[in-house]
A and B are shown apart, each in its own frame.
Chain A
Amino acid sequence: MTPGLLLFTLLQAAPAAGGMEFVPLGRGVSAPGAVLDLAFLDDQRLLALTDDALVLYRLDDSTPALEARLELSGARLPVRVAAGLLRVSEAENACWLLTNDRPRASLVAVEGRRLTPRLEADAVPWPGSTAGLRYRAGTNQLVLGESLFLGMRQEGLAVAEDGRLVINGKAEAQGLRVGTALAGLGALIVTSSARAPGPADALALIRAEGGLANLTAEAKVEGSIAALAARDRRRGALVVAAIQGGEGVTRLVSYAVRPRP
């Protein structure tokens, strides 16, 4: 049974309401800067895009341990709020990165414990788009075709410019709004809350069926969730959240996702 199928089976077996839960796995570790995006490279490795670096972590025991760091170079454009996106190519052991304060996207290869820039492009290649994915100049809005988004995931998930959740190209049927951080987890979606910046935020686990989203689990967090990555690993589903606290310090906190006992 694949991990994704395992989690989905667990979910189906759980009670319909409140059947799953987020379980924090420790206090997490401090991130080296403001985190713009997170993405799993594979079961054991996590990439974090900060405002000035790409950072590789190893996740042997669910706690991220820093393994490599690549300073991002090049001229920066003035932006009022920093934003960024990672698109991982697990097969190529590489990732595309894009920030709204740098004019070009970069492809970075992960070679053991080294991060090596490979090439640059005007946009991040994206399935179904000849122009690719880029930021609308000076904003945190991603441009894909004719549409604007605040968040975008390879699994067909996106957050529209007004915060509405988009699943496989269509807005969620009830117009559900979510936060800009989101991640796919097999048949599930992990998001932050749609509330405005403040001292509190929440992780939400959503199951989407027939274009409708159902909240399956929720966990309050202190601070704002800046980015999320999720992975259905052989040892169980894992979510890593970059949580920015009131002092501006961001922590990477791991959560297990499992059926409520």
Chain B
Amino acid sequence: MRRALLALILVAAAAGAHAALGPLYGGTVTVAVPSLPGSMAPGRPATAVERLALGLVHQTLLVIGADGDLRPALARSWTASAGGAEWTLSLDPQARFHDDSPVTGAAAVRSIRRFLAARTPAAERLGRELANERVSTPSADRVLLRFREARRAPLFPLASLAAAITNARGSGAGPFVPTLTIPAARLAVTAFAGHIGGRPFLDGLALVATPDADRRHADLAAGRVDLALGEPGPQAMASTLVLVLDPTQPPFDQRAARSAVAAAIDRTTLVEQYLPNSQPWTLLLPPTLAGRSAPSPRVRNPSGGALAGEISLAVGSDVPATVSQRIVAHLDALGLHVTATPVEPGAVRSTRASARLLLFTPEVAEPSLAIAELAALAPQGPDVALPLAAVPISIGVREGVQGARAERSGRVALEDIWLEP
């Protein structure tokens, strides 16, 4: 079963493989994206493009591999002591920031403290588990985390992009160095020769904001761009489309009303008509983390007018408009008068509304952390959050571009891209 689910993650051939001709170094590519992040500082990415952009520039101490286990990054090893209550990470001595300064224990501790203060879901988990002394650097190349009690696997939160390591001047240690930012229009980066994984194959790349999905599709098809986020290509089923109902507000304070909504939405039609490459999904965890298949959706199609009243619907702006219109139509058919409002993806989780429609991509691709994040999203119980579809994070690639891949975290990785001659 797990193997079948993992097969959903389409990953391009490993760039490290020896080959007939390639990988080749050099060249630049242009990537069409729906929008650009307002800030390149480490943080919890709210959208696929934020995850992509932050992953270009920043590097974490640890990353999560394709098998779901932690892998070295800026930290090359980690060990437990005190029966599992203390964990020490040893930094890779070759790790450097973009300004060529070494990645030190002091920089790592400062970055972890910044992460804890950011209070992202993963940071809150780590903060709850840490003892009062929290984080220290016993030597220049080590970081010590002391926990309240023995923990078996407490380091997963450090794989969050919000926990990326920067130095005091704000330099990152990711595979690319930002060189040009035109707000809301263009972000250009160049290869970082000192990256811990080796210099990227490309000399540089540019993310170009192209809000219109049809335009992105046309630009890729015409070769005006080399890659386009959201187009079919390498993908990971890393997101779940979720409708979250507020049980403190009528009519969703009634279990029957929530059940009526759950029964009314035809997931299969929604996916077939409005969400290409997605699949009907009845679990809150996305397929990359669910570890099992979702039960088949059942639609009872209750008679119209089962409910009455006015509701507000906050819709994440990364949810396709046709999808939200379809959901509004379902609610309308139940007898509800819906006022839908687009909300920034990063804000929709905390927006107060009768219902919220959002794409959920876990901050960290680890099941227990994702479940905790979902619990925070819908603290009143599981029946207030209705999973509707599993949605891929994908990137379309023109012919001749090799090595693009989507990770189980939903991060589109571009550092292994190379160009055929």
Contacts and interface: CB of A to CB of B under 8 A. Distances in A.
A197 B198 contact: no
Contacts of A192: 20-21
Nearest to B93: A75
A80 B22 contact: no
Chain A contact residues (Cβ within 8 angstroms of B): what range?
35 or more
Contact of B20 (A35, A81, A138, A179): A179
A136 B22 CA distance: 16
Given A79-B198, A163-B421, A193 B25 contact: no
Contact of B17 (A138, A227, A244): A244
A5 interface: no
A91 interface: no
A150 interface: yes
B137 to A, nearest CB: 23
Contacts of A181: 20
Nearest to A159: B21
Nearest to B23: A81
Q: DSSP class of B's interface residues: helix, strand, loop or mixed? A: loop
Interface stretch (B189-197, B249-257, B267-275): B189-197
A209 interface: no
B196 to A, nearest CB: 6
Interface in A206-252: 224-227, 242, 244, 248, 250
Contact of A195 (B15, B16, B20, B25): B20
B16 A80 contact: yes
Interface residues of B, number: 27
A77 B198 CA distance: 8
Contacts of A82: 16
Q: DSSP class of A's interface residues: helix, strand, loop or mixed? A: loop
Interface centre among B18, B19, B26 (most CB of A within 10 A): B18
A171 interface: no
B174 interface: no
Contacts of B201: 80-81
A194 B18 CA distance: 13
A232 B15 CA distance: 34
A180 interface: yes
Given A78-B197, A81-B23, A226-B19, 9 more contacts: A81-B18, A82-B16, A163-B21, A163-B421, A177-B21, A178-B21, A198-B19, A224-B20, A244-B17
Closest 6 CB pairs of A and B: A197-B19, A80-B198, A226-B18, A138-B199, A179-B20, A79-B198
